[in-house]
Amino acid sequence: MAEPASLTDTDTDTAIAGLAVSLRGVTKVYDNGVVALGPLELSVRKGEFVALLGPSGCGKSTALRLIAGLAAPTSGTLHLSHRQGETRLGRTIGFVFQEPTLMPWTSVKENVRLPLTLARAPAAEADARVNEALTRVGLSEFADSYPRELSGGMKMRVSLARALVTDPDILLMDEPFAALDEITRFRLNNDLLALWRNLKKTVVFVTHSVFESVYLSQRVIVMTSRPGRIGAEIPIDAPEPRGEDFRTSAEYAQLCRKVSAALAPSYSGQSAL
Amino acid sequence: MSSQTPPTPASPSATDTGALRVTRLLLPIVVLAVGTLAWELVVRLNNIPPYVLPGPLAVLRTLVADWPVLSQSLLTTLLTTLEGFIAATVGGIGLALLFNQSKWLEYSLFPYAVILQVTPVIAIAPLLLIYLPQQTAVIVCAWIVGFFPVLSNTTLGLNSVDRNLAGLFQLYGASRMQTLRLLKLPSALPYILGGLRIAGGLSLIGAVVAEIAAGTAGAGSGLAYRIAESGYRLNIPRMFAALLLLSVAGIVIYGLLALISHLVLRRWHESALGKEN
């Protein structure tokens, strides 16, 4: 067993000031000895939108789960920035899973409210926050609906509202739109970008879509598999705000080509197995 | 393409499903009517005496005539069943919750729950009647047969929690109690209700078995005791009447539990939703 990972929540360390997420030499080895990840070096600036791109099984979801604290790294250090004088409500992380992951037995409102319920937030404040989060994702009319009464895209919006309800600094998204049809995905991409511009959150977005990663992020991190490592980093310095014009621009096509080329070694490597 | 378009039939689906529903209700009733009629005819045409085989009319007449005795017995049996059912519900869910909180407890006790379940209750009842007061023994029998489906279904339900939802609860720092109350129990609810539906019928069986076993001791007054007693007295019509009441009681118990399950789950669970959804 390697040295245990540490998680600090101070901004006093000058080396990590200005960083929302910092991973140093982080590895994850499963009990059966399979090295899933690393060593991984990753820094995400505050307010940055970073996409983790890679083929299935390259450990990008594992990296996200490590950042969220849902799994413990085998070795290495992991830092998350922490708001000064944070209240109980202000949680650091919001997580959006690949599936909407809603509780089917209760209403949209109660689903969004869950993080506040678990933090035992005062009812009046929780109500206000739930309403605000639902308005942000455009679902305030559906507060009393049940998840099964919603479409796939709407369920994902509920999931997003739930992640936003605690007003976290960092939003971790694990292929959130992978199961949606393209039209819905494009709409949600635009909505997500608008939210990011308004709320200035740090976003780490895991995807296996080249097009999505280029469209959304400021930096695409291409990962290689077995074990998951960073293969390439491609800055996407297209002007903000991005919209449908960007999606059809020559610049977008060129960036997609570049990212695809960077991704190529990771799947040619797989075919050699 | 020059094929003619066929005439479109005037939407048949609505009337079709309506007719199908009526047919589904009607058919078993027709079978019942035909069966009862055949039974009555066989008894009359062959002049079979009622102490060998009473006709359905004779059974009904007995039911009405003996109603004061039979209704009292029905009440006794229903009360025993209810007590056994409540004990099974509390015991089954309670044990499942304990097992869920502690693996050690589960590993230590689960085999005995299985043994209790696979040993025929009819063989345990006489022993229980030796060591326990009769009323308690009857309830314990109802509990023994009823609690296992509740236990195993609840355990299954508690272990069927969505992995990502569990992760979410962990992320937001949910306490054990919060996870149990807000995640595990609601997830397990459809399974628990399924277990209760089985336990309802089984509690009645448990109560009847115990009453029959106790019947020879002669102190009971439930429906099963009436059946045993009437058997000794060759009062066959009353045996049938008591049996009919037991049957109806079983159907009503099942129907009630199915209705409760439907009402509780209708807004969210697949099992309670219409097929068109």
Asked if A114 contacts B182 with a C-beta cutoff of 8 angstroms, the reply is: yes
**Residue A258 confidence (pLDDT):** 87
- The helix/strand/coil state of A2 is coil
**Residue A83 confidence (pLDDT):** 64
Rounded to whole angstroms, how far apart are CA atoms B233 and A230?
Answer: 88
Rounded to whole angstroms, how far apart are CA atoms B96 and B77?
Answer: 28
The least confident of A50-64, A208-222, B52-66, B87-101 is A50-64
Cα distances from A211 to residues A120, A179, A270, B247, in angstroms, run 40, 15, 21, 65
Mean pLDDT of the region B121-144: 87
pLDDT band at A11 (very low <50, low <70, confident <90, very high): very low
Looking at chain B, the whole-number percentage of residues with pLDDT higher than 90 is: 48
Rounded to whole angstroms, how far apart are CA atoms A194 and A197?
Answer: 5
Residue B273 has pLDDT above 70, yes or no: no
Interface test with A, best of B268, B271, B276 (most A CBs within 10 A): B268
pLDDT band at B20 (very low <50, low <70, confident <90, very high): confident
Mean pLDDT of the region A170-176: 91
Identity of the amino acid at A154: M
Mean pLDDT for all residues in chain A? 82
pLDDT band at B89 (very low <50, low <70, confident <90, very high): very high
DSSP state, residue B139? H
Interface test with B, best of A7, A9, A99, A103 (most B CBs within 10 A): A103
The least confident of A70-79, A117-126, A201-210, B106-115 is A70-79
Distance between B42 CA and the closest CA of chain A, angstroms:
55
**Which residues are CB-neighbours of B223 under 8 A, at least 6 positions away?**
B70, B73, B74, B76, B77, B208, B211, B242, B245, B246, B249
pLDDT band at B182 (very low <50, low <70, confident <90, very high): very high
Mean pLDDT of the region B62-77: 91
pLDDT band at A7 (very low <50, low <70, confident <90, very high): very low
Q: Do A101 and B168 touch (CB under 8 A)?
A: yes
Mean pLDDT of the region B223-237: 89
- On chain B, the residues whose CB falls within 8 A of the CB of A145 are none
Residue A4 has pLDDT above 50, yes or no: no
Mean pLDDT of the region B230-256: 92
Asked if B250 contacts B199 with a C-beta cutoff of 8 angstroms, the reply is: no
Crossing angle for the helix pair B67-101 and B56-65, nearest 10 degrees? 90
pLDDT band at B149 (very low <50, low <70, confident <90, very high): very high
Cα distances from B220 to residues A140, A262, B78, B133, B136, in angstroms, run 62, 84, 14, 11, 12
Mean pLDDT of the region A154-168: 91
Residue B276 has pLDDT above 50, yes or no: no
Q: Which residues pair with A52 in a beta bridge?
A: A206, A221
Both structure tokens of A124: 């009046």
Task: Say which residue, A38 or B64, is predicted with more confidence.
Answer: B64
- B160 CA to centre of own chain: 24
Mean pLDDT of the region A157-168: 91
Mean pLDDT of the region B60-68: 93
Residue-wise pLDDT for A235-273, tens only, equals 888 777 787 888 888 888 888 888 888 887 765 554 444
Mean pLDDT of the region A20-42: 83
Interface size between A and B, measured as CB pairs under 8 A: 55
**Residue A237 confidence (pLDDT):** 84
User: Of A269, A226, A175, whose CA–CA distance to A59 is shortest?
Assistant: A226
**Residue B85 confidence (pLDDT):** 93
Mean pLDDT of the region B164-185: 91
Neighbour-count burial of B263, counting CB atoms closer than 10 A to its CB (0-12 exposed, 13-18 middle, 19+ buried): exposed
Both structure tokens of A88: 């109980």
Residue A8 has pLDDT above 70, yes or no: no
Looking at chain A, the whole-number percentage of residues with pLDDT higher than 70 is: 87
On whether any CB of chain B is under 8 Å from the CB of A253, the answer is no
Both structure tokens of B54: 């009473």
Q: At B167, which helix (H) or strand (E)?
A: helix B163-171
For A219-253, give the secondary structure using H, E and C.
Answer: EEEEEECCCEEEEEEEECCCCCCCCHHHHCCHHHH
**Residue A51 confidence (pLDDT):** 92
Distance between B256 CA and the closest CA of chain A, angstroms:
22
Residue-wise pLDDT for A74-118, tens only, equals 888 888 876 655 544 446 888 999 889 999 999 999 999 999 999
The torsion region of residue B173 among left (phi > 0), alpha (psi -120 to 50) and beta comes to left
Task: Say which residue, B228 or B35, is predicted with more confidence.
Answer: B35
Distance between A220 CA and the closest CA of chain B, angstroms:
26
**Residue A3 confidence (pLDDT):** 38
**Residue B252 confidence (pLDDT):** 94
Interface predicted TM-score (ipTM) of this complex, two decimals: 0.83
Cα distances from B53 to residues A225, B39, B58, B62, B260, in angstroms, run 79, 10, 10, 13, 39
Residue-wise pLDDT for A189-236, tens only, equals 988 998 898 888 899 999 988 888 989 999 999 888 777 788 888 888
Task: Say which residue, A57 or B151, is predicted with more confidence.
Answer: B151
**Residue A206 confidence (pLDDT):** 93
Mean pLDDT for all residues in chain B? 86
On whether any CB of chain A is under 8 Å from the CB of B271, the answer is no
Q: Where are the beta strands (DSSP E) in chain B?
A: none
Distance between B162 CA and the closest CA of chain A, angstroms:
8
